[in-house]
Amino acid sequence: MTRYLAALLASLALCATLPQSARAELDVPALKAKIETSLESDYPKLDALYKDIHAHPEIAFQEEKTAAKLAAEMRALGFEVTEHVGKTGVVAIYNNGDGPTIMVRTELDALPMEEKTGLPYASHDKAIWHGRETFVDHSCGHDIHMASWVGTAKTLVGLKDEWHGTLMFIAQPAEEEVAGAKAMLADGLFTRFPKPDVGFALHDGPGAYGTIAYRVGVGSSNADGLFIKFHGRGGHGAMPQATIDPVMMAARFVVDVQSVISREKDPTEFGVISVGAIHSGTAGNIIPDEAILVGTIRTFKPEVRAKMLAGIERTAKAVAAMADAPAPDIRIEEGAKAVINDPAVVGTAEKVLKAAFGDKMRATPPGTPSEDYSEFVNAGVPSMFFNIGVYEPERVAAARNGTGPQLPGNHSPLFAPVPKPTIETGVEAMTLAVLSAFDQRAQGH
């Protein structure tokens, strides 16, 4: 009885030392000031790193030099660095006492396209990709993410009295091919290294610099590739009765499949199917013997995705049956899954980021592109994925109200972030987000 009472009292005492609400919140203004002071001296190096990576981009799974640059930066900060995780990936670990493991992810890869910004640090580099030579350009802004990632690591190491636990900074290859996250996981990311308690990633885009966009729940779309081959019977264009016309089947499918969107899917749920390519035939007087369609299917929710895939398959088969053709070949290639932001992780970071950024931190609807950070979420890492802007606020406002030109977005050859305020926002927001997660876990939530 006394032992029971003692245990009860001890547990009550423990509760009293860790009251969840009474514990002092992070002193955000003080931390913000410290981060800004640290950035003031760190920025010139981050700027040089950014411009070097920007001028020498590397394509998916070829990011050897980029990975080596990041590995060297992290080693210099005292991280334990492992290279070649998932071909070209980097894992950098920093232990700072007992506490949770918090992951911060950047991508390493650029795109196979020519940069046309005319910037002094523009890329003129080329690479061999799928057997042919191509220009390479950091037009998705992953170079901004890398500079912010290194800057965040540096800032957190400088602030190591403010947190306890482990930093796990990962640099992921081949995001653009939706293959790098899978490659790192398959290479033991969460078995050879600690499995993080919380994860963060950011992406830049054509909004105003200094702003942060975030959301709870669905953050980006599921992407599936669609490949259909309709089999017909070729013949003379003037004698269609002797043929089975696959061009007719392809045309009918492209139109009819939209009724899956408009009549079968719940109209309040997001779902898109676009057929981006049709390959069939050679000349106007020849009915070809097959037609190939290539498309993309985008959804947010698994149940909507399942419904659309079933409808697409049924429509393709029905179109062939109507033409008395053999069944078509249908292949759905699973791409990136939707990134689902964890309500608790976002809720904690949101308070801290709102205190630091005020109304420049806004909740926005999910984006319809896709992102393979979802692989880490689906492997069990509760996460927050947020977005930062890259352009002068005045130019963004003018583009929005129609008094200025549209600004180039990601994957445009003209995409040109303004480095300093963009990277500084990335570092500040990511540092505060990580600190919020350490603080939340320290409170035992």
Residue with tokens 């303004």: 418
3-state secondary structure of 259: helix
363 DSSP assignment: E
Dist CA 313 CA 318 (whole Å): 9
CB of 205 to Zn ion, least distance (A): 9
State which residue, 140 or 150, has the beta carbon closest to Zn ion: 140
342 DSSP assignment: -
What part of residues 98-157 is at the interface with Zn ion (CB under 5 A)? Answer: 140
Rg of the chain, C-alpha, whole Å: 26
State which residue, 205 or 311, has the beta carbon closest to Zn ion: 205
State which residue, 117 or 166, has the beta carbon closest to Zn ion: 117
State which residue, 31 or 171, has the beta carbon closest to Zn ion: 171
Strands 126-129 and 212-214 come out as unpaired
State which residue, 38 or 172, has the beta carbon closest to Zn ion: 172
* Total residues belonging to the chain: 445
Closest CA to 419 of 64, 120, 200: 120
CB of 148 to Zn ion, least distance (A): 13
State which residue, 140 or 244, has the beta carbon closest to Zn ion: 140
Contacts of residue 123, Cβ cutoff 8 Å, sequence gap at least 6: 54, 55, 56, 57, 110, 115, 135, 136, 137, 138
Dist CA 108 CA 43 (whole Å): 20
DSSP conformation letters of 198-250: EEEEEEEEEEETT-EEE-SEE-S-EEEEEEEEEE-B-EETT-GGGSB-HHHHH
State which residue, 106 or 152, has the beta carbon closest to Zn ion: 106
> How many amino acids of this chain bind Zn ion (CB under 5 A)?
1
State which residue, 140 or 356, has the beta carbon closest to Zn ion: 140
CB of 329 to Zn ion, least distance (A): 30
Handedness of CA 82, 188, 152, 95 (dihedral sign): negative
CB of 44 to Zn ion, least distance (A): 26
State which residue, 299 or 387, has the beta carbon closest to Zn ion: 387
State which residue, 223 or 297, has the beta carbon closest to Zn ion: 223
Residue nearest to Zn ion (CB): 140
CB of 203 to Zn ion, least distance (A): 6
CB of 139 to Zn ion, least distance (A): 8
State which residue, 56 or 105, has the beta carbon closest to Zn ion: 105
Amino acid at 107: E
What part of residues 269-298 is at the interface with Zn ion (CB under 5 A)? Answer: none
CB of 59 to Zn ion, least distance (A): 12
Chain center to CA of 201? 7
Dist CA 273 CA 261 (whole Å): 8
Closest CA to 426 of 211, 159, 111, 157: 211
CB of 411 to Zn ion, least distance (A): 6
State which residue, 101 or 383, has the beta carbon closest to Zn ion: 383
CB of 45 to Zn ion, least distance (A): 24
CB of 177 to Zn ion, least distance (A): 10
Q: Which helix (H) or strand (E) holds 420?
A: helix 419-442
Question: What does the H/E/C string look like for 117-179?
Answer: CCCCCCCCCEEEECCEEEECECCCCHHHHHHHHHHHHHHHHHCHHHCCEEEEEEEECCCCCCC
CB of 142 to Zn ion, least distance (A): 6
CB of 169 to Zn ion, least distance (A): 18
Q: Does 179 bind Zn ion (CB under 5 A)?
A: no
How many Cα neighbours within 13 Å face the side chain of 299? 21
Structure tokens at 256: 């009819």
> Which stretches of the chain bind Zn ion, using CB under 5 A?
140
